[in-house]
Amino acid sequence: MEKLNIKISLANRLYPMSVDNSDERMIRLSASKIEKILKNLKERYSVKDDQDLLAMCALQLCVKLEKIAHKKSTENEILIKEIVDIKNTISKVI
């Protein structure tokens, strides 16, 4: 894969990165979303320190990931139960 050298701005700092060409759009979009979260947190909590804002942003994003992972796990458990029920019903018929 072809690598690109890009610079991403987060919390008023530039971060040089070497990324796969196919990942550039997603990385820039993610950086933009992080900047929006930082702006909202700064306005909501009147926090001045960028490091505090980044920590709060990281926590917020991790909570979202955990909720998604939990929901997926719960959905998988329900699906497995339904498959087992269907298998048992078929076994009774056969």
Q: Taking the domains of the chain in order of start, what are their residue ranges? A: 3-67
Contact of 21 with 2, CB cutoff 8 Å:
yes
> Which pLDDT band, with edges at 50, 70 and 90, does 19 fall under?
very high
Question: Percentage of residues in the chain with pLDDT exceeding 70?
Answer: 100
How does residue 1 score in pLDDT terms, banded at 50, 70 and 90? confident
At residue 52, the pLDDT reads: 94
With a threshold of 0.85, does the pTM exceed it? no
Contact of 23 with 14, CB cutoff 8 Å: no
Amino acid at 75: E
How far is 1 from 82, CA to CA, in rounded Å? Answer: 42
| pLDDT at residue 13 tops 90 | yes
| Distances from the Cα of 77 to the Cα of 10, 31, 83, 84, angstroms | 38, 34, 10, 11
Q: Report, as an integer, the average pLDDT of 24-47.
A: 94
